[in-house]
Chain A
Amino acid sequence: MKFYITGSTRGLGKCLARHFDCTTVDRPIDLNTDIDSVVDMFDEGDCVILNAHARQLEYVNRLKDKCRLVVMGSLAAVHPDSSMPEYSQDKAQLEQEVLKQSVHSKYPMLYLRLTSSSYKNHKMIVRSIKFWLDHPDINFIGYNINE
């Protein structure tokens, strides 16, 4: 199985790319406009980590029956951030759709509801993804808010 990741130039994405030896999908590829060519990059059964906040829902819909998906979500889906209403709305819609789609998708799908602290805990996210790879019936992992 080959791993791909969107948004890998820094932070969590960079760490995941290194750990899972991912092929990275970053600029000059434009995730917002080059959707067809990005989708064509992946083969059946590959694992794609949708880390970049760029048309995530569209990629989920296009890839749900082609690839294993790890979707980086946010606590903002259930606790909207008033300073980023569009972002919160996007993440809320994404969470609902992934949970719905993952029930009947051909390949396993994992939605990670990240918080500001868990986002920085790269090791835990890596371990969560590895755990899911061994337990693909899991479709959602949410993290603590307080820490």
Chain B
Amino acid sequence: MSEKKIVITGHTSGIGKAIFDKFTEVSCHQIIGMSRSNGYDIEKDFDKVVEEVAGAEIFINNAYRDQQQLKLFNALKDKVDSMVVMGSVSRHYPELIPTDYVQDKQQLHEACRLESIRPNGIPVLHLDLGFLEGTTVEDTDPTAFISDYNTDLNDIVDTIIFWASHPSIRQVEFTWKLTEHVTQEFERINPNVDLSRVK
């Protein structure tokens, strides 16, 4: 992968940190992290984030906060060369997890799909991640999954690197397991959940 300017939101914890750290190790890349801790709140500092991400060769749209991820997608799809969007397999289960979080992830996926058929649309990689151990979403969205099953962080980083050389790939999805903890999470979010569909 040749030298690229890469920008990622939510780079101080979880997947974002793993990706940021990995790309930082690869010295030929310029990786810029944007998080609340360094003055880039994707909601309060939205305009600043857009302005400074513009021109990136790869924008990793990672941080989740309500509709902000989708807003960033729309604001930046004509201002960056390519984009990686962190989605969630939970979008497949709206009836099991009837939350704003799942709706937001569905809308995000739809936006990526539409971008893939837009004439001259940019390469967008939509990643459907398995239910993740969250560290950043918990304080902003209690309906998000906080699970003990991880999509391996190295798998995610490897997938982004692989995609950078194969930008015709548009969507990668990871499998997940219905562990006891995931089951508890389903029940915490929806006490009336019927898990027969996913067993």
Q: Is there contact, CB below 8 Å, between B152 and A137?
A: yes
Asked whether B116 lies within 8 Å of A146 as measured between CB atoms, the reply is yes
What is the minimal beta-carbon distance from A121 to any residue of chain B, in angstroms? 7
Q: What sequence of 0s and 1s flags, for each residue 95-130 of chain A, a beta carbon within 8 Å of any chain B beta carbon? A: 000011011100010000100011001001001100
Tell me which residues across on chain A come within 8 A of B116, comparing CB atoms: 144-146
Interface string of B111-132 (1 = CB under 8 A from A): 0010011010101000010100
Q: Is the CB of B152 within 8 A of A113?
A: no
- Within B123-160, which residues are at the interface with A (CB < 8 Å)? 123, 128, 130, 151-152, 155, 158-159
Given known A99-B92, A135-B159, A146-B119, contact A141–B178 (CB-CB < 8 A)? no
Q: A135-B158, A135-B159, A146-B117 are in contact. Are A141 and B175 (CB under 8 A)?
A: no
Q: Tell me the bound Cα distance from A111 to B176 in angstroms.
A: 15
Interface residues of B, count at CB 8 A = 30
- Known A103-B177, A135-B155, A138-B155: A143·B168 in contact at CB below 8 Å: yes
- B117 near A99 with CB under 8 A, answer no
Q: Which residues of B have CB within 8 Å of A104?
A: 177-178, 199
CB pair B174–A137 under 8 Å, yes or no, is yes
- Nearest CB of B to A102, in Å: 5
Interface of A is mostly: mixed
User: Which one of B159, B162, B178 has the highest number of Cβ atoms from chain A below 10 Å of its Cβ?
Assistant: B162
Residues of B within 8 A of A102 (CB): 175
- Which A residues fall within an 8 A CB radius of B? 78, 99-100, 102-104, 108, 113, 117-118, 121, 124, 127-128, 131, 134-135, 137-147
In the A-B complex, the 10 residue pairs with the smallest Cβ-Cβ separation, listed nearest first, are A140-B173, A142-B171, A139-B175, A144-B168, A135-B155, A145-B117, A142-B170, A137-B174, A144-B170, A131-B162
10 further interface pairs, Cβ-Cβ under 8 Å (given A135-B158, A144-B168): A78-B113, A117-B168, A124-B166, A131-B162, A134-B158, A138-B159, A138-B174, A140-B171, A142-B172, A143-B170
